[in-house]
Structure 1
């Protein structure tokens, strides 16, 4: 399958990765960073898997489907965690994760 067929998903993965990276960095600066540890870890993992999924799709990996399925699971968990926090960067990240998981 040509990477052009994946273009929209690749772009969404990159948007989600950027939102997770922003949330990750903002959480590190939170006054109560200890409370944000789970969110920080999920942000990092979600950003990494989104980047990896985009790469797999862009190179027509035979494992792209399986990688994207794992990516959807991680995005869902990250989105669920972020939506629990009442700070804007977490809400933006949660929305990016939900958009991707759908």
Structure 2
């Protein structure tokens, strides 16, 4: 296991680092070689979207773990459920983006909506895990909503 092939992320006070192979969330050098029908208007933004989705996945997983172990777990139950849903949808959306699926735009619209709902829920709590989750969800929502906006030169 070489260091360049893996990334480890963790948050202060969060669960141990999550180690993920880079190829699961990074672009190949030539995305068109993987998917010849790849949407060209997405290429400049794809890594930004993948990074935002991955960060949101990690933050939501950390928040869900934190919420399950929190003394006031019943008060956090909706945020835990939403965080787990959001983490799963971010992971799945990143897979769609990475392979250039024809359904990517639909997935990113749904992901943006769930990220918004999750962030809104987490803003009700003041702990660090919820704050990190809120921030990551807002960034992922923005990345998902702007992923398929065509620059004026392409219109």
Query: TM-score band (shorter)?
Result: over 0.9
The aligned counterpart of 2:123 is: 83
When normalised by structure 2's length, the TM-score is 0.63
The aligned counterpart of 1:72 is: 112
Please state whether the residue corresponding to 1:34 is helix, strand or coil: helix
Please state whether the residue corresponding to 2:70 is helix, strand or coil: coil
Farther-moved stretch of structure 1 (4-13 vs 22-31): 4-13
Listed as ranges, the matches of 1:13-32 within 5 Å are 13-32=53-72
The aligned counterpart of 1:44 is: 84
Q: Matches of 2:98 and 2:58 in 1, distance apart?
A: 18
When normalised by structure 1's length, the TM-score is 0.95
In angstroms, what is the RMSD of aligned CA positions?
1.2
Q: Matches of 1:25 and 1:67 in 2, distance apart?
A: 25
Q: Matches of 1:101 and 1:17 in 2, distance apart?
A: 12
The aligned counterpart of 1:60 is: 100
Q: Is residue 129 of structure 2 the alignment partner of residue 101 of structure 1?
A: no
Q: Matches of 1:42 and 1:95 in 2, distance apart?
A: 15
Shift of the alpha carbon at 1:4? Answer: 4.4
Any unmatched runs of 5+ in structure 2?
Answer: 1-38, 143-155
Any unmatched runs of 5+ in structure 1?
Answer: none
Alignment deviations for residues 40-72 of structure 1 (CA, whole Å, 9 cap, x no partner)? 000000000000110000011000000000000
The alignment covers a number of residue pairs equal to 102
Misfit runs of 4+, over 3 Å: 2-5
